[in-house]
Structure 1
């Protein structure tokens, strides 16, 4: 790793020697200048990590030098040295952009500590910039497509960006609820604060409670230390609770208290803590039905559903599939270093013919699998593998099939995707349940499919 480079600007050679000798022993690389002009030349040529400049120089002062160097590179920190320090001079130097103002004679160990702190601050700043750039580059647009359904969702989402009210995102598994939640956060007034997410599905009451609210040391047998809950971590930011319909009934009153009073209590604690968070929740379940079945509190439901957003399933936005598939293909190909890859016409037809029970998540899996298993610059129907079965879409495009055969295969497929639930299959097919039973009997579809 390259050593940190320091530019020392002082017209006294003895001062420069003392600083150089000490800092070189600490692993720094040193460049020297004895005037403003030389400092500008070296600064431009070497791009140091930090500058140490004496206030009085033969051709000017540090107050003259600082703006010139800042014009070349404003991110490089500068320290100003002087034998005649004053509060007024220090304030002027800081206003011009100096990070520190030190008086001579220097305490060299203290100088080393200051340099290390400034360099660490600079590294952290660069990391933050890189992280923000990466987030912008990797940000996923939840509204890809031109269908009426996705345009309507985009319009609704943009209208609520300035509100602090809870949002409930409804939609099937894999539609993109989590992507929409992050988009809402990153475009809100809380974008610079934390975005914390938790999938509530399958978590026991005890685990969910300690994850959300934290616990105190000794609250239970394995609580050997205090732990912050996610509400504390998300303070001033956004917390996203996916599959909120699975939250245990005993946890729901505590969740309601946080939303209504902005207060909660850690497990094992006796005092309330204040918190300022915005809640976004999501579920694939019909919470209205859960409320009627007494599996979800109605007061909590009314609180979290202040602003409901419904994410349409992929099968209801067929016209978006080609655009969305190409977008995902470009992203996957870029991640895998494959260059530009296109979807051919047969592939697009196959993608549109499929019903996508796994929605966008399944589409991405199909695209990624096709890229990994193909070697060319084009993805065709033969490269598609749906849910582990090759060429699932091919029968839909087989012109040798009769209409009856095509109908039978389509019914079998929908029944399979709905796990034999006739009522849901009939709804997807757009026919009454009684009609579907008649067709099942007519086509001799095995009862094992139902």
Structure 2
């Protein structure tokens, strides 16, 4: 029996500010003010120590004195741009302000230029604005990192399985714990992941997704963690990884069961320590992300076969959600099909399309091995290839080559399992008994007996009879 799903209270992480100034009294005054208003504060007293804090501390904003014992604020600005670091906004302070210096600092990339003595309320207003602008930039990076796609309500339907899923999702949406989304290919795991993000306290922060199944080990590692210039052949510039892009937001890793074993311990470190290291770097960086993962594999079996790390499995499976297959909630198909039909029709500029009763019946009778993704494909194909305003059964072209996952329901008896399997093989062979018997490894006469026993319709053979229920 699955463990009960418990909601976890989200702990909101306050913005982190880095103060780089060689005067302890200045650092103390700014720190005391910022901490009293809810910020977390780190300090450094030189360019070198500020450089280390920027690399490892992941501040949201840095307040930097222009003149420091071993350099100036512009040195940090230039180094950040050359290293391809995830841009940390810099507010520059100086006791010797001039218009020329202010113009130069802004041209170099400073967010703001302030003169001492500092007015702390003014600083608070500027910090709030800079942090909001930084969040907007991160969201834009996240949007560019994925192809835009139209979303479908993950809870469209009335089936008990879907209502259970919705109840569990509502209870864990605000949690910071990782969520493992399980389900067959095409069931809408990615749609559910995006819903969880949009209904979490991180909704205004980036949502970044990555499909682990499509990437080699090296490419997956550089996409996730980024790399330094010269980390490998061809790395002519530094690269910001998706973990940095997703900072304070949500990272969704689809098909995590296909993640290379050598990458898995690095992801585990992110979950346990909130730290990671770019390829080619020797220093850790701090990051705050919520992890959502999805897979169609049985991760427990992969752990048993030593193809997936047990410690990582336990860490990501804190909150498991199961997305039911479409064939397990057939009562939802009519309403879902009409919703998808409206989307498909709108995409090509058509309106007021509907499904005839025989079309709805055909959709409900089909096994849907490709689940919602296949349903959308069938409807989109019908919209493109049919001019009628009402789609009928002949307008639906099912993908008969798609293998139906007939062995996935362990609640079936052996007799029911055999009946379903024979039915699916006959369907794939378009009713030809002789070809089906070869695939099943039994004599044709035995297959005829089973067809008659189970009342399977639409079986045919060259020169043979047609068995009807």
Q: Which residue number corresponds to residue 223 of structure 1?
A: 235
Q: Which residue number corresponds to residue 365 of structure 1?
A: 377
1:382 alignment partner, SS class = helix
- Distance in 1, matches of 2:307 and 2:414, equals 30
Q: Which residue number corresponds to residue 448 of structure 1?
A: 439
- Distance in 2, matches of 1:253 and 1:161, equals 26
- Distance in 2, matches of 1:173 and 1:275, equals 30
State which structure, 1 or 2, has the greater radius of gyration over its C-alpha atoms.
1
Q: Which residue number corresponds to residue 347 of structure 1?
A: 359
- 1:417 alignment partner, one of 403, 427, 435: 403
Equivalences for residues 269-418 of structure 1 within 5 A: 269-387=281-399, 417-418=403-404
Equivalences for residues 151-162 of structure 1 within 5 A: 151-162=163-174
1:245 alignment partner, SS class = helix
- Distance in 2, matches of 1:279 and 1:264, equals 14
Question: TM-score, structure 2 length as denominator?
Answer: 0.58
Q: Which residue number corresponds to residue 187 of structure 2?
A: 175
- Distance in 2, matches of 1:308 and 1:237, equals 20
Checking the alignment, whether the CA contact within 8 Å between 1:174 and 1:362 is kept in structure 2 is yes
The Cα shift of 1:162 comes to 1.2
The Cα shift of 1:196 comes to 0.4
Cα distance 1:153–1:189, how it changes in 2: closer, same or farther (>3 A)?
Answer: same
Equivalences for residues 91-102 of structure 1 within 5 A: none
- 2:415 alignment partner, one of 419, 423, 431: 431
Residues 1:243 and 2:255 aligned together:
yes
Q: What is the CA deviation profile of residues 217-240 of structure 1, one whole-angstrom value per residue up to 9, with x for unaligned ones?
A: 000011000001110010000000
Q: What is the CA deviation profile of residues 148-203 of structure 1, one whole-angstrom value per residue up to 9, with x for unaligned ones?
A: 01111011100111100000000000000000000100111001010000000042
The Cα shift of 1:353 comes to 0.6
1:385 alignment partner, SS class = coil
The Cα shift of 1:336 comes to 1.1
Q: Which runs of 4+ in 1 moved over 4 A?
A: 422-430, 432-441
Question: TM-score, structure 1 length as denominator?
Answer: 0.60
Checking the alignment, whether the CA contact within 8 Å between 1:212 and 1:229 is kept in structure 2 is yes
Structure of higher RCO (CA pairs closer than 8 Å, 6+ residues apart): 2
- Distance in 2, matches of 1:357 and 1:138, equals 22
Q: Which residue number corresponds to residue 94 of structure 2?
A: none
1:239 alignment partner, SS class = strand
The Cα shift of 1:423 comes to 4.9
- Distance in 2, matches of 1:437 and 1:144, equals 29
The Cα shift of 1:266 comes to 0.2
Cα distance 1:365–1:303, how it changes in 2: closer, same or farther (>3 A)?
Answer: same
- Distance in 2, matches of 1:310 and 1:294, equals 23
- Distance in 2, matches of 1:139 and 1:203, equals 24
- Distance in 2, matches of 1:427 and 1:243, equals 26
- Distance in 1, matches of 2:422 and 2:393, equals 33
